[in-house]
């Protein structure tokens, strides 16, 4: 089957080597369709029942997500209604793609723990961490880019995440500044954002190139090493990106394995939805450690963006 698309031909060619043939048509279609809109009830500001009642009064029809009690989806056409609601502007709900909720649920922070969110802006995952921790414990949210940092800080305040402490600093320095300090670490690494490409939005992909992927990977590696250095022995970490590119995903985890060896345990990863595939064990002639198959790539569908996830544990 031939596929016509304004997306970069080289990107689509790479995609055929990443996505199994049985999934490719569905994945390709998502770049040309609009997904449903999803949101998470901010349990620091509202109960789920109260938030749903408030939205129902606006004729917003929210459908539950089976694997996340606070998550709901609404038709794409109701997105503007949702984003202009008082529930959103006053911090009772947070509009967020379902895939962005998965890393936080996987990390599963507990009340009272010390948690690091590295490269945290705009703060959606930070807020989710705080909600799961019931605002008990400590979250260090680090962001290096000034305008993104202030957006993060504003969101933390607006959504009532009182255990979040924001830091404007280079994430590459955190591991040395806070060695083996955190119980859990989340690194949603800055990336080429391939999952956000859309055929109707040339700005989303017009600057894409293999060189951009290599540039992202160069930035990701020191961030990943810093995140790992900050993790306590016995602690767990989630590394994730919204890129399809193995150079930004499997290759990064492979680099961590190479540097830290047996101290890195890649945990088997089970997700409560079907649109996932195992991590790759080879790419463009390069072989990866077979344990990379334990990582997962969420494939896009009508509800979810693509996401890569690796769940790691520091062996004591």
Mean pLDDT of 232-254: 98
3-state secondary structure the chain: CCCCCCCCHHHHHHHHHHCCHHHHHHHHHHCCCCCCEEEEECCCCCCHHHHHHHHHCCCCCCEEECCEEEEEEECHHHHHHHHCCHHHHCCCEEECCHHHHHHHHHHCCCCCCEEEEECCCCCHHHHHHHHHCCCCCEEEEEECCHHHHHHHHHHHHHCCCCCEEEEECCHHHHHHHCCCCEEEEEEECCCCCHHHCECCEHHHCCCCCHHHHHHHHHHHHHHHHHHHHHEEEEEEEEEEECCCCHHHCHHHHHHHHHHHHHHEEECCCCCCCCCEEECCCEECCEECCHHHHHCEEECCCCCCCCEEEEEEEECC
Q: Any binding-site annotation on 122? A: yes
One domain, residues 40 and 164 = no
84, 163: one domain: no
Residues 124, 166, single domain; the answer is yes
Q: Is 121 annotated as a binding residue?
A: yes
Could you report the per-residue pLDDT of 244-301, keeping only the tens digit for each?
999 999 999 999 999 999 999 999 998 999 999 999 999 999 999 999 999 999 999 9
pLDDT of residue 3: 67
161 labeled binding residue: no
If you average pLDDT over residues 170-176, what whole number do you get? 98
68: annotated active-site residue: no
CATH number at residue 68: 3.30.70.1170
Q: Are residues 51 and 181 in the same domain?
A: no
CB atoms within 10 A of CB 292: 23
**Looking at the structure, do residues 92 and 113 belong to the same domain, yes or no?**
no
- Shared domain for 55 and 201, answered yes or no, is no
Does any domain span residue 244? yes
Domain boundary among 96, 120, 137: 96
103 is an annotated ligand-binding site residue = no
pLDDT at site 66? 97
Domain end marker among 44, 79, 96: 96
- For the whole model, what pTM was predicted? 0.96
Tokens 């997306």 appear where? 7
Q: Which whole number is the average pLDDT over 50-65?
A: 97
Residues 53 and 159 in one domain: no
Q: Is residue 192 part of a domain?
A: yes
Task: Say what the pLDDT of residue 95 is.
Answer: 98
> Taking 50 as the threshold, does the pLDDT of residue 4 lie above it?
yes
Domain at 122, CATH number: 3.40.50.150
Question: To the nearest whole number, what is the mean pLDDT of the chain?
Answer: 97
203 shares its domain with 286: yes
Does residue 250 lie within any of the structural domains?
yes
Task: Say if 8 falls within a structural domain.
Answer: no
Band of the pLDDT at 1, cuts 50, 70, 90? very low
pLDDT at 186 over 70: yes
81 and 191 together in one domain? no
Q: What pLDDT is recorded for position 51?
A: 98
> 37, 191, 240, 242: which is the annotated catalytic residue?
242
Could you list the residue range(s) of the whole structural domain that residue 71 is in? 36-96
- Would 11 be classed as within a structural domain? no
Total domains in the fold of the chain:
2
Q: Do 116 and 134 belong together in one domain?
A: yes
Question: In this structure, is residue 18 part of a structural domain?
Answer: no
Cα 95 to the chain's mean position, in Å? 14
Q: Write out pLDDT tens, residues 90-143.
A: 999 999 999 999 999 999 999 999 999 999 999 999 999 999 999 999 999 999
Structure confidence at residue 270 (pLDDT): 87
124 known ligand binder: yes
Q: Are residues 189 and 307 in the same domain?
A: yes
Q: Are residues 145 and 59 in the same domain?
A: no
């Amino acid at each position: 089957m031939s596929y016509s698309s304004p997306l970069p031909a080289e990107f689509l060619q790479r995609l055929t080597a990443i996505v199994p043939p049985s999934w490719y048509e569905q994945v390709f279609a998502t770049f040309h369709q609009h997904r449903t809109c999803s949101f998470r009830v901010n349990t620091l500001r509202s109960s789920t029942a109260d938030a749903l009642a408030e939205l129902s009064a606006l004729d917003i029809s929210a459908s539950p997500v089976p694997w996340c009690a606070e998550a709901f989806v609404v038709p794409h056409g109701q997105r503007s209604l949702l984003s202009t609601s008082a529930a959103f502007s006053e911090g009772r709900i947070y509009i967020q793609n379902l895939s962005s909720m998965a890393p936080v649920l996987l990390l599963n922070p507990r009340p009272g723990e010390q948690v690091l969110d590295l490269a945290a802006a705009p703060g959606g995952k930070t807020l989710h961490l705080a909600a799961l921790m019931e605002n008990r414990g400590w979250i260090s949210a680090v962001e290096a880019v000034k305008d993104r940092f202030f957006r993060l800080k504003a969101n933390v305040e607006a959504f009532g995440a009182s255990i979040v402490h924001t830091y404007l600093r280079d994430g590459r320095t955190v591991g040395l500044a806070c060695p083996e300090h955190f119980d859990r670490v989340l690194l949603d690494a800055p990336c080429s954002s391939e999952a956000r490409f859309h055929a109707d939005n040339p700005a989303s992909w017009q600057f894409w190139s293999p060189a951009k992927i290599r540039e992202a990977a160069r930035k990701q590696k020191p961030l990943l090493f810093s995140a790992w250095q900050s993790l306590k022995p016995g602690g767990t970490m989630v590394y994730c990106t919204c890129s399809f590119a193995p150079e930004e995903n499997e290759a990064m985890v492979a680099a961590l394995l190479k540097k830290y060896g047996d101290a890195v345990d890649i945990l088997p990863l089970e997700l409560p939805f079907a649109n996932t595939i195992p991590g790759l064990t080879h790419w463009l002639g390069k072989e990866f450690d077979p344990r990379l198959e334990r990582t997962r790539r969420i494939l896009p569908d009508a509800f979810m963006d693509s996401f890569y996830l690796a769940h790691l544990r520091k062996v004591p």
